[in-house]
């Protein structure tokens, strides 16, 4: 909804990964205009403050109920955001989408989501299996000695998973900034996930996100990438979903049946913080 130059939005978060969320079906901002909105509204001391901007739009495929567009805080486009997708599902429910489950288009393909049967405050996001996993990769830039292994995984977007022993001692911002644009990760770069894993049913994760260019409290696709590495490479076992502990809270990764098919899921909270209105950036009619 738009009143003059004012745009209605919801502020939401998933385990501390926070977003400005809007319904783009009425004002129809273009991709470039959404990027400009993200750059204007996401700075924490000069705007609303968020890691990114989520826009709900008309679907592009007949199987989808709506389309998800995601712009990072710097305006760069991201193909997928796991925490954001759960928040946009909750937003879609609030504005009248009631099919069960909901299906939505993203730049990474078709996804589905539903309210968790175990916890009504949680959303289960059903995602494709991670098929692009490259073990024990080497980079051109120097790698700190505390990093034991490096693995690449595409979980809707690009991720590098770095296993470490003492995750609290890692200077995430410094090392993440150093590694995220390594020439071996070109052209897209990658989010850098620092993971501590053991043989138990949980792992600990901290993430440096490209586009935010800083550590964020949580990263949903990073959780999926780390869970894939933990299970396939470190043989971490979990009978009822792997728990991934982030600074912003705990997310679960497991398998369940949706629309008749077994699928990988990411489960966690999607919280509405407040609603508001904000002026369009200069230059956007």
Please indicate whether residue 87 is annotated as part of the active site: no
Return the pLDDT at 239.
63
Tens-level pLDDT at each residue, the chain (285 residues): 445 689 999 999 999 999 999 999 998 999 999 999 999 999 999 999 999 999 999 999 999 999 999 999 999 999 999 999 999 999 999 999 999 999 999 999 999 999 999 999 999 999 999 999 999 999 999 999 999 999 999 999 999 999 999 999 999 999 999 999 999 999 999 999 999 976 668 899 999 999 999 999 999 999 999 999 999 988 777 667 899 999 999 999 999 998 888 999 999 999 999 999 999 999 998
Active-site annotation holder among 37, 42, 81, 87: 81
Q: What is the DSSP string of 66-89?
A: EEEEEEETTS-B-S--HHHHHHHH
Q: What CA–CA distance (Å, rounded) separates 76 from 109?
A: 18
pTM to 2 decimal places: 0.95
Domains and CATH numbers, the chain: 2-115+270-279 (3.10.310.10), 132-267 (3.10.310.10)
Active-site annotation holder among 37, 42, 87, 219: 219
């Amino acid at each position: 909804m738009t009143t003059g130059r004012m745009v209605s939005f919801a502020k939401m978060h998933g385990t501390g990964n926070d977003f400005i969320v809007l319904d783009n079906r009425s004002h129809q901002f273009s991709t470039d205009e959404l990027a400009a909105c993200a750059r204007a509204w996401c700075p924490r001391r000069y705007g609303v403050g968020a890691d990114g901007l989520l826009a709900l739009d008309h679907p592009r495929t007949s199987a989808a109920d709506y389309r998800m567009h995601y712009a990072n805080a710097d305006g760069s486009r991201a193909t997928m955001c796991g925490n954001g997708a759960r928040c946009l599902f909750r937003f879609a429910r609030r504005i009248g989408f009631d099919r069960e489950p909901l299906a939505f288009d993203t730049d990474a393909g078709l996804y589905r989501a539903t309210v968790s049967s175990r916890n009504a405050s949680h959303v289960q996001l059903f995602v494709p299996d991670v098929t692009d996993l490259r073990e024990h990769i080497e980079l051109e830039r120097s790698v700190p000695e505390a990093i034991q292994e490096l693995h690449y995984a595409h979980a809707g977007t690009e991720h590098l998973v770095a296993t470490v022993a003492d995750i609290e001692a890692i200077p995430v911002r410094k090392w993440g900034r150093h590694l995220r644009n390594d020439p071996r990760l070109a052209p897209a770069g990658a989010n850098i996930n620092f993971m501590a894993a053991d043989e138990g049913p949980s792992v600990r994760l901290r993430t440096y996100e490209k586009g935010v260019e800083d550590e964020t409290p949580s990263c949903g696709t990073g959780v999926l990438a780390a869970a894939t590495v933990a299970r396939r490479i470190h043989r971490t076992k979990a009978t009822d979903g792997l728990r991934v502990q982030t600074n912003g809270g705990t997310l679960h990764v497991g398998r369940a049946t949706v629309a008749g098919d077994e699928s990988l899921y990411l489960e966690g909270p999607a919280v509405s913080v407040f609603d508001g209105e904000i002026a369009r950036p200069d230059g956007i009619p």
